[in-house]
Each structure stands twice: as structure tokens, then as C-alpha cells.
Amino acid sequence: MTEAKPGPIIDVEGLGVRYGKTAALRDVSLQVPPGAVTALLGRNGAGKSSLVRCLLGHRKPSSGRVELLGLDSWRHRAQLMEQIGVVPEDPDAPPTMTAEQLGRFSARLYPEWDAKGYAARLQRFDVPGRIAFARLSKGQRAQIMLSLALAVKPRVLILDDPTLGLDAVARRAVFEELVVELADRELTVLITSHDLPGIESIASHVAILKAGELLLDEELEQLKSRFRRIALGRVDGRGDRDADGSDLFEGLGPLEVRSRGRGIEALVSRFDDSAFERLRALPDVHSVETWPATLEDIVIALTDGGSH
């Protein structure tokens, strides 16, 4: 007897969003399984925020379907929001309210409001409870928004670039809090960010948008296993300055190929062991080195239109 596989928590199918004549998203399909931490990445204007707005039911898709927890996010927004924690790109809490007032206000909106947890997080973040939201630093505002989102005891957490504009300390605090929360409970997260090193530490899945289209959606480990950097040392010691050397990486999906010293360095997207052996067997190659690409390498290579 086989167990039924649980359906995706976030299920986006053929999503299109238009602003007048401009298409912000085109035929985007994305599934986020339960418990996954999906990093939604892409350059500015790639369509990340449009996708998040559709997920939150703030905007009706121009085409396609967006479901959260099995419900249409536009039609059932208010109902869904009881189980969803949100941290927006710009902390948007009412500017005159203090952290304490925000907590009391939220307690009346959510049936499972975690008042103790909210207070504890504020204390951990060292955020003053009685100062108006608008008078706090950007980092403190982001920390309050994260505290509000987690105190909901959400099944899904949606974070739209929560560390934008924060200093390194504040960024680390946010990510550490997320790591703690993720370790404690089964939580599905969709996070957009430009802080790629930070997100790499918590993401289990990665989806990359480019110009409104989804380039990829897969597990981070799998992604990193197939995206590798390779350095070739040539026997004749020439860096093959006359040619770009791409033909050496034929079949590996080269994204970047550049001369480096006496050899050639490349970022490939379809690396496997047989490819490695094939490179070592080349007659004019005396050494082959390979190491994992960083998420930043991958995203830059995929989304920087002119370099590969």
C-alpha cells in the first residue's frame, strides 16, 4: 500500500500578470511542497513581487491559477490569512502604532495568536515595545514584521525580501530567527531575497524568475550538484586566448567560460561524473578541478542576460 503524497502547499499554474500592456509574469507554474523553504530569486523587475502579491490575494491573476493550502488565494484571501504569516518588502504596519499595540491588535484578528512568542521575539530582537513603528529603525521594523508573522503560528510563511536595506547584523538576526522557527516546527516558506548567501543557508528549494518567466524550480541540493565550476589546465600552457573554449564543455551546459592564467574556467549547468572523466581524458588537459557553484554564481549566470 502506497501513501498518498501530500499536495503542494503553494500551487501556481500558468500564472500571468499584466499591468496594462506590460506582462509582469508569463505562464509561471510553481509548486512548493509541505515543509519546503523555497527561495524565489531573480533580478529587480523579474516578477517576484507580482507573484507574491498574487499568492497573498492582493492582486487577481490576469490568467492562470494560484492556490494556497488548496484554496484559491484571490477568492479565499481573508480565510487563508489566518494561517499565513507575511513579511512584506517594505514594513507596512501603521506608523503610529507601537509594537505592543500591534500585538494587541493582531491578537484580536488571529484565533491562535502567540502573545508570549511575540513578546519573546521582540525581546530577543531588542525592539522597544512602546515606540511608534515609524520612529523605529528599518531593522527594527523588519524584526517587528517578522515577529508578527511568526506569532500567527502560520502554516505558511511568505517573506518578500525581508532583509532589504538591513545591515549585516540585522540580516543575520532575521535569518537566525527563521532558522530557529524552521527547526521547531513544520513550516512552509516562500522567500524572495537578494541576500543570496543568507538565503542559501536556509532554502531547500530554489525558483528563479527572469523577465516574468520561470527559469527553474528545483531542490537546492540538486541544483548545486549540477551547477559546478570547472577549471582546466592545458598541456601547452596556453589559455586558448584565440578561442573561447566553449567546445571543450560541449554537453555540460556551459554558462560562463573564461580564460584564467594557463587554463580555462567554466560554470556548467549539467555536470555529472562521466563528464568529469571525459574532461580528464582530453589529450591537451593536464589537470581538471571542480567545485560547487554558489547560489549567487548560479543566479547571476542565469539572470544576467548578456554573459553566457
Partner 1 sequence: MNVFAALVWREFTERRLLLLASAFLGLVPLIVPFLPGSPQIKPQDLRLATTVVVTLLFGGTVLVVLGSTIVGRDLSEGRLGFFFSRPISAWSLWTSRIVAAVLLLLASLALLTLPTALLDSGVLTGDRIGESSQYAWPLLGFKEVFALPGVMRSLPDMPSRPVRLGILLVALVTLLALIHAASTIVRGRSAWVLVDLTGLGATLMIGWWARNLLIGEEAITALVWAEWFLLPWILAAALAAGAVQLARGRTDLKLGHRYLSATLWPALLLGALIFYGFAQFVVASSIDDLENAIHLRASPDEAWLVVGGRVQHRGRAEAAFLLDTATERSWRLGSLGAVHAWFDFSDDGRTAAWVRCRSFARLDCSVWAKDLADAASSPRRTPVPFDSRPNELVLNADGSRLAMVGWRRMAIYDLASGSLLAAVDVNHPNDTAFVTSDRIRFMELDDGDDPPGMRLVQFDIPSRQLSEIGNLPRSFRTLLSLRDERVIFTQTQPLGFGLYDTASAQPVGELHLHQRLPSQVHFLADGRCVLVFRNGFEVSLSVLSAAGELEYSVNGPKTLGTRFGGEIAPGRVLVGFNEVLGDPEPMSVGGIEGATERRWATYVFDVETRQLEAIGVGVRPVGSRRNMSKDHLFMAPGSTILRWNLESADHKVLLGPFEGAEQARDFELKPLS
Judged by CB under 8 A, does residue 189 bind partner 1?
A: no
In the complex, least distance from residue 83 CB atom to partner 1, rounded to whole angstroms: 9
Number of residues that bind partner 1 (CB under 8 A): 26
C-alpha cell at 5: 503524497
d(CA 279, CA 228) in angstroms, rounded, equals: 14
In the complex, least distance from residue 68 CB atom to partner 1, rounded to whole angstroms: 12
Nearer of residues 62 and 246 to partner 1, judged by Cβ: 62
d(CA 112, CA 26) in angstroms, rounded, equals: 37
Q: Could you write out the DSSP letters of every residue in 245-273?
A: -GGGGTTS-EEEEEEETTEEEEEESS--H
d(CA 13, CA 243) in angstroms, rounded, equals: 43
Binding mask 5-44 for partner 1 (x = CB under 8 A): ----------------------------------------
Strand partners, 134: none
In the complex, least distance from residue 77 CB atom to partner 1, rounded to whole angstroms: 7
Footprint (CB under 8 A) of partner 1, residues 71-130: 77-79, 81-82, 84, 86, 88, 90, 92-97, 105-106, 108-110
- Burial of residue 46 (number of CB atoms within 10 Å: 0-12, 13-18, 19+): buried
Nearer of residues 92 and 277 to partner 1, judged by Cβ: 92
> Which helix (DSSP H) or strand (DSSP E) does residue 14 occupy?
strand 10-19
In the complex, least distance from residue 7 CB atom to partner 1, rounded to whole angstroms: 22
Q: Which residues bind partner 1 (CB under 8 A)?
A: 53, 56-60, 77-79, 81-82, 84, 86, 88, 90, 92-97, 105-106, 108-110
